[in-house]
Amino acid sequence: MTIINFTPGPALLGGALIGLAAAFLLLAKGRVAGISGIAGGIIYPESKEDIGWRLVFLIGLVLGGFIYQASGFGAGVEHIEAIVSTPMLIVGGLLVGIGTQIGTGCTSGHGICGLARRSPRSLVATLCFMGSAIVTVYITRHLMGAA
């Protein structure tokens, strides 16, 4: 296995910024920074006032990537190319969406915020996410022969 574009500095900075954003949201709004819950709250809002901060949060996630690339830190990563077909991407996205509903949250909600709060439920969910990812990679790379 060859690791390409190993960048521990930007990775550390990104992790710190994610932690700060999660802490800020918890302190400012009393909400956990689980992306699936934030996005779901736009589709099924608890109140009209609840939509604004959710949109700003999600727009910030997308803009953050563009700002990072424009700042020059993303040099060497000109584009990302999916090595699977569009139908497989759609199926994968649907499975992730179903999984976040079954697991009552996503990797950001459970893995970052829940573990930081020492939630036993989040520990179990994160172990299930990671275990599923390990099994999926093993099956697709070693048993199915995908790259």
Cα 131 to Cα 57, 61, 123, 128, 134: the distances in Å are: 29, 26, 12, 5, 5
pLDDT in tens, 12-31: 888 898 889 889 988 998 88
104: closest CA among 34, 50, 51? Answer: 34
The yes-or-no verdict on residue 67 having pLDDT over 70 is yes
Show the tokens assigned to 65. Answer: 């990537």
Q: How far is CA 144 from the centre of its chain?
A: 26
Amino acid at 75: A
Rounded Cα distance, 97 and 103, in Å = 10
Amino acid at 84: V
pLDDT in tens, 73-110: 666 666 667 778 889 889 988 888 888 888 788 888 88
- Residue entry with tokens 């390990």: 134
Rounded Cα distance, 93 and 8, in Å = 28
